[in-house]
Structure 1
Amino acid sequence: MRFTKLRIRQKILFTLERQLVKGAHYQLLLVAALIGILSLVGGLLVMPSGPPTSRLGESVWWAFLRLSDPGYLGDDEGGWRRLISTLITVAGYVVFLGSLVAIITTWMNRKIRDLEQGLTPVTANNHLLILGWSNRTIHIAAEIFQSVGRIKRFLLRFGTSKLQVIILSEEVGPFQMQELKDHPMIGSRASEIVLRTGSAIDREHLRRVDSLNASAIIVPSLAYGRRELINPDIETIKCLLSLNAEASRYPGHKLPYVVAEIQDEFKVAAAYRSYSGPLEVVGSNTILSRLMAQNIRHPGLSEVYNEILSQIVNNNLFCQQFPELVGFTIGSLKKAFTKAVILGVVRNTKGESTRVPDLNLPENHLLASDERLVVLAKSSADLVWNSDLLSREPIDSQTRTPLPVEEPAETIRVLILGWNEHVPSLIKELCSYEEESYFVRLVALRPLKEREKELQFLNEPQKRVTLEHVIADYIRESEILRTEAGSFDHIVMVSSDRMEEEEEADARTMVGYVLLEEVLDKAPKRPSVLLELADPSNESLIRRFQAEVIISPMVLSHLLAGIALQRDLNSIYNELFTVGGAEIIFREPAAYGISPGEISFQEIESLAAVHGETVLGLALDPLLHRTNSLLLNPEKKQKRPLTENDRLVVLTTVY
């Protein structure tokens, strides 16, 4: 038979503990009960001392007054009454004042911590919602705050006057808010951003940020901390399914517009199937690989793309409808827009679901009522035209003499240092260029079996791309010498995805690049070098070297923010970056018959139109113009001196 020991003291303490942990209400009730007991005991002890405490009610009230206010202590007479009054007053300091202050202070501190964690649901309408905190989130918020012209039209479209940005993050605290304040494009406006704790795949947390009433939702992908079975794409698709499920609770509720980032291009179709509302999916690996491939084919394009993609720097792309200009030719409109460059049009097919861009149009194309102009301008204020320059006279386009896009005859040698999720997409993109052949040497620590698994799409014989795998660490001088870097035409250094922090990944890339520079200084021919970085603050550390830089989070932030504010931009970017169709290239001025000397941009535009191309700007000799060597959409009438080393930035059509 088991013996049960009587533990009264432990039982009482345990019961008190369970009541105290229930919260401030139970703690206050316990203190009130203790005050009542002390008042009753004190009243019983003081009753024998005579009037005015001879009755129980009066004596208990007497004790309560001493317990709650020590000022009554000097009114008592008699030794016994003074002793009891002193004991009760001391107990009042400890129980009444001390306990109440402790309980209220603890409750206030807990409430403040809860508020700092962002657990309170928000009530908002037509707000802009960012789901998830990644290395893109802060830059997305900065892009949105700086896109003044687009924001005004965005707010006007939803009938609201004030921009409200809400960010849902798994962790919310002083660190996140300080990061927002430290960004130069946000600064003091960080207080306008609402942070809420939660996960984008949790329906309860989506309600916390009032997701269904948002005007636009941006779902950036995580670049680091990837797990084997749950990757960022799975979380993004689960988020889209959760948004759909939330809308099903309110029949007839209009789903918000969503811009989602998907890393794996094979999951893009699944993302579109997961959400029944307006959705634009950005394939990040595909976009970055296309940018790298274009930069390999045309070194120097990274600076052009950085300016076109950004909503902050110099010129931006605008897609806008101009009902007053319907029926005018593209050639006439190009002359009338004196502060902007017209790239083409975007039209809708199948209602609003599909947008088809048509860039680098013939001069005699008539603007239709269902077409929106794609314009390169410094701001929305420059989207104006000179009515005196508009003409409805037909333009003869038969005199156009198209120029061939230069295609290399020999095999292009590319050295790729490092490995991440962009590399397979880059190889796939190079395979799509039918008129070009490549020899690619892959130097990384990634085991050969893992590389072959990620390159399974190359199982079919590839005649245009030849791969050579080398397992080596490029930050070792002896191994980078073995790569024979000087014998290649192009070198690409990618940011490692095996580092937990982007600063560590960039540190490896930059150290490897410094070692590479020592090798290239001794090479008879210098190849073009393209670096991929993850942290924009590291770009300044290598600015003095001769290398182009692509900052992946910045590029993707530009894309997500821009497409959120202008949905048409997604189709335009896809058209510009894919093989064939409209492409941005560099041309020598001599290709248009331009000799070194002074010429206006307006004259260059006319010469480009003769060859069926659209000139976007000038790429001046970097040796003469170390800063501002790229001039997109310059002043059209101003004459500028051109040298034989200057190039033209041209939008052409590749068939």
Structure 2
Amino acid sequence: MPLKKLRIRQKILFTLERQLVKGAQFQLLLVAAFIGLISLVGGLLVMPSGPPTSTFGESVWWAFLRLSDPGYLGDDEGGWRRFISTLITVAGYVVFLGSLVAIITTWMNRKIRHLEQGLTPVTANNHLLILGWSNRTIHIAAEIFQSVGRIKRFLIRFGARKLQLIILSEEVGPFQLQELKDHPFIGKRANEIVLRTGLAIDREHLRRVDSLNASAIIIPSLAYGKRELISPDIETIKCLLSLNAEANLHRRHKLPYVVAEIQDEYKVKAAYRAYSGPLEVVGSNTIISRLMAQNIRHPGLSEVYNEILSQIVNNNLFCQNFPDLIGYSLGSIKKAFTKAIVMGVVSNSADRYIPKLNIPESHILEKGERLVVMARNSEDLVWKSASLSKEAPTSFVRSPLAPEETSETIRVLILGWNDHVPSLIKELCSYEEETYFVRLVTMRPVVEREKELQFLKENPNRVSLEHVVADYIRESEIQKTDAASFDHILMISSDRMEEEEEADARTMVGYVLLEEVLEKAKKRPSVLLELADPSNESLIRRYQSEVIISPMVLSHLLAGIALQRELSSIYSELFTVGGAEIIFREIGTYGISPGEIAFHEIEALAATHGETALGLALQPKPRRKNHLLLNPDKHRKIVLSEKDHLVVLTTVY
């Protein structure tokens, strides 16, 4: 049997360590024990020196006073007493003062770090809650702060006094707070945002942000750093299940309204099944692919959508009740709104919103219907009572114009790959009157592409696809793509990069190389870039291209729908093939000749053809700051040329 060595020193050190790690209370008790021990030893050593330390109690008290206050050092007489007093005083500096300061400082630092991490549960009512930190989160917060009119109505609806925004993030620290402060539309208001550490899929962490008492919850999806088995959609659906389970613990508790982002359209139904409360699901891949498809059909349309989606730019969509206008015709109401454009109505049926856009002017506004209006802000949602009339509007012969189509095959070059590409090609397959040839140039293996594009077998005649395996940021490879022969070129943000800056760097370098190829082209194709970081748009502004910043578009959608639920049905109607669509018209389509014309005259001409005029897309000029004019002054005279276009809302049957 092996002999056990004496390990007294190790045992003592281990015991001390276990006591010290228990916290400030145990550390203070240990220091108090040391102070008592030093006082006892000092008292015993100084007792033989005589009065005033003749008794044991007086000696211990004498030692404690020297230990705690060095001012007593000059009162001692005798060599031995002074020697002991000096040793005790030095020990007092080290043990009494040094240890106490160290313990209190460490405790304070630990407490501050704990508070900075956002682990303290919050108690709030009717707050806005964002679950997760992604490349959408900051833009969602900025969009909410800029939605002044909608925020006021939102607070009134829930009886709240002021906006309280809480963000649940996997990590909380100075970096996240600084990012919020650096955003130009948040700035100092970042201090109004409450940050809490946690995971959206953890029920305990959902309690930390008082999720069940929120007025609205936004769940943005993670676009980068995807894992093979746990996708962002799985985490979103798990979060919805957790919210449902929390509500089941409090059966009388009303479930909050949730706006969730789902990337895979096949998981949208699963999201609705996972949550039994009020829920709006935004299919991000579907939305972005539809915007790209619309831009292929109508180059320049991205600027229109960027404006109407954002609360920060000039014009926005509003959906409101106007009880005083019930019983009036839509034509009369349109004339009464002098600073806004009425696009249609939204009705509610069984808690489901049904939009009716670009409807006849003879439509009478009924009780329960809300007007869909484009305006610069909520203050422009006013009308002139003198313009209202109960009389039936003059009946025009509605002669709808079909969207401008081509019988030729539309050639599209796609450079790059991410989850939007399959959705985009699927969207192109839904346009029955058009055929497309798509050349797909990316480093992704063909086998993986074909696996995600199996739906093409159902519509082989509408979209013909050619696969090319190449890296488009190489000059020799991009010259082989024959880019100049295409009608449209799309540069897709890569999903293989861990960071947005890396993905955008590849896209922008590829675009600069593409510009060299297109300089010699006889007919320049339209070019659309997808970027992930809005700050990179300024780097390519001088080039002739359009930009879609996917996180910004999705942030606008999530924030807008959270504050006004009806907008979800309106956006869905505008982006879906068929039904109401925003398109460009040549001015000659309405019989307009180049020269001066007021916008209210254009509105009247559009109405005769069953369309709604939204604005003008003017030819860019050196002195012209904005070539896109949505909702212009209706009586302002605008000089039009043959190259200018009208922005109209039409109906595609």
Note if 1:46 corresponds to 2:62: no
Distance in 2 of aligned mates of 1:546 and 1:78: 95
Distance in 2 of aligned mates of 1:154 and 1:265: 29
Distance in 2 of aligned mates of 1:186 and 1:432: 40
How many residue pairs get aligned? The number is 653
The correspondence for 1:600, drawn from 598, 606, 618, is 598
Distance in 2 of aligned mates of 1:192 and 1:463: 55
- 1:35 partner SS: helix
Q: Which amino acid aligns with 2:581?
A: E
1:164 aligns to what? 164
Over 3 Å counting, the alpha-carbon distance change for 1:625 and 1:246 in structure 2 is farther
* 8 A contact 1:35–1:95 mirrored in 2: yes
Distance in 1 of aligned mates of 2:109 and 2:373: 54
* 8 A contact 2:532–2:551 mirrored in 1: yes
- 1:135 partner SS: coil
2:259 aligns to what? 259
Note if 1:315 corresponds to 2:315: yes
For residues 431-478 of structure 1, the C-alpha deviation after alignment (integer angstroms, 9 at most, x for no partner) is 000111111110100000110111122232421111111111111111
Q: Which amino acid aligns with 1:481?
A: Q
The correspondence for 1:551, drawn from 549, 552, 555, is 549
* 8 A contact 1:329–1:367 mirrored in 2: yes
Q: Which amino acid aligns with 2:192?
A: E
1:282 aligns to what? 282
For residues 256-275 of structure 1, the C-alpha deviation after alignment (integer angstroms, 9 at most, x for no partner) is 11111000000011111111
Please state how far the C-alpha of 1:76 moved relative to its aligned partner: 2.0
Please state how far the C-alpha of 1:625 moved relative to its aligned partner: 6.0
The correspondence for 2:509, drawn from 480, 492, 511, is 511
Note if 1:450 corresponds to 2:448: yes
Please state how far the C-alpha of 1:81 moved relative to its aligned partner: 2.2
For residues 517-560 of structure 1, the C-alpha deviation after alignment (integer angstroms, 9 at most, x for no partner) is 11111112111111101111111111111111000111011111
Q: Which amino acid aligns with 1:549?
A: V
- 2:57 partner SS: helix
Please state how far the C-alpha of 1:221 moved relative to its aligned partner: 0.5
Please state how far the C-alpha of 1:42 moved relative to its aligned partner: 1.4
Greater CA deviation, 118-127 or 376-385? Answer: 118-127
2:240 aligns to what? 240
Distance in 2 of aligned mates of 1:563 and 1:275: 17
Distance in 1 of aligned mates of 2:267 and 2:172: 30
The correspondence for 2:361, drawn from 356, 360, 363, is 363
2:489 aligns to what? 491
1:576 aligns to what? 574
- 1:636 partner SS: coil
Distance in 2 of aligned mates of 1:405 and 1:540: 33
Q: Give matches, 1:147-546, under 5 Å.
A: 147-350=147-350, 352=351, 354-397=352-395, 399-546=397-544
Distance in 2 of aligned mates of 1:296 and 1:117: 46
Taking structure 1 as the reference length, the TM-score comes to: 0.98
2:642 aligns to what? 644
Greater CA deviation, 622-631 or 330-339? Answer: 622-631
- 1:314 partner SS: coil
- 1:408 partner SS: coil
Q: Which amino acid aligns with 2:546?
A: E
Distance in 1 of aligned mates of 2:29 and 2:246: 40
Please state how far the C-alpha of 1:109 moved relative to its aligned partner: 1.0
Over 3 Å counting, the alpha-carbon distance change for 1:43 and 1:624 in structure 2 is closer
For residues 584-619 of structure 1, the C-alpha deviation after alignment (integer angstroms, 9 at most, x for no partner) is 001111111111111111111111111111000011
For residues 17-54 of structure 1, the C-alpha deviation after alignment (integer angstroms, 9 at most, x for no partner) is 11111111111000001111111111222222223322
Greater CA deviation, 641-650 or 420-429? Answer: 641-650
Distance in 1 of aligned mates of 2:58 and 2:412: 98
- 1:129 partner SS: strand
Distance in 2 of aligned mates of 1:322 and 1:502: 43
- 1:512 partner SS: helix
* 8 A contact 1:181–1:190 mirrored in 2: yes
* 8 A contact 2:224–2:499 mirrored in 1: yes
* 8 A contact 2:38–2:88 mirrored in 1: yes
Greater CA deviation, 54-63 or 422-431? Answer: 54-63
Distance in 2 of aligned mates of 1:51 and 1:299: 102
Q: Which amino acid aligns with 1:442?
A: L
Distance in 1 of aligned mates of 2:131 and 2:37: 54
Distance in 2 of aligned mates of 1:102 and 1:517: 63
1:125 aligns to what? 125
Please state how far the C-alpha of 1:627 moved relative to its aligned partner: 2.5
Distance in 1 of aligned mates of 2:517 and 2:623: 27
2:620 aligns to what? 622
Q: Which amino acid aligns with 1:514?
A: V
Structure 1: unaligned runs, 5 residues or longer: none
Report sequence identity in percent: 81
Q: Which amino acid aligns with 1:101?
A: V
Structure 2: unaligned runs, 5 residues or longer: none
Greater CA deviation, 371-380 or 197-206? Answer: 197-206
- 2:318 partner SS: strand
Please state how far the C-alpha of 1:73 moved relative to its aligned partner: 1.6
- Root-mean-square deviation over aligned CA pairs: 1.1
Greater CA deviation, 601-610 or 113-122? Answer: 113-122
Distance in 2 of aligned mates of 1:421 and 1:57: 82
* 8 A contact 2:532–2:550 mirrored in 1: yes
* 8 A contact 2:310–2:316 mirrored in 1: yes
Q: Which amino acid aligns with 2:483?
A: A
Distance in 2 of aligned mates of 1:465 and 1:269: 27
Q: Which amino acid aligns with 1:309?
A: L
Structure 1 residue runs of 4 or more that deviate by more than 4 Å after TM superposition: none
Q: Which amino acid aligns with 2:386?
A: D
* 8 A contact 1:362–1:397 mirrored in 2: no
- 1:433 partner SS: coil
Please state how far the C-alpha of 1:207 moved relative to its aligned partner: 1.2
Distance in 2 of aligned mates of 1:91 and 1:413: 86
2:102 aligns to what? 102
Please state how far the C-alpha of 1:626 moved relative to its aligned partner: 4.7
For residues 114-173 of structure 1, the C-alpha deviation after alignment (integer angstroms, 9 at most, x for no partner) is 111111111111111111111111111111111111111111111112111111111111
For residues 294-343 of structure 1, the C-alpha deviation after alignment (integer angstroms, 9 at most, x for no partner) is 00000010000000100110000000001111010000000000000000
1:590 aligns to what? 588
* 8 A contact 1:308–1:316 mirrored in 2: yes
For residues 605-640 of structure 1, the C-alpha deviation after alignment (integer angstroms, 9 at most, x for no partner) is 111111111000011112466520000000011111
Distance in 2 of aligned mates of 1:127 and 1:217: 9
For residues 59-106 of structure 1, the C-alpha deviation after alignment (integer angstroms, 9 at most, x for no partner) is 211211111111112222233222222211111111100110111111
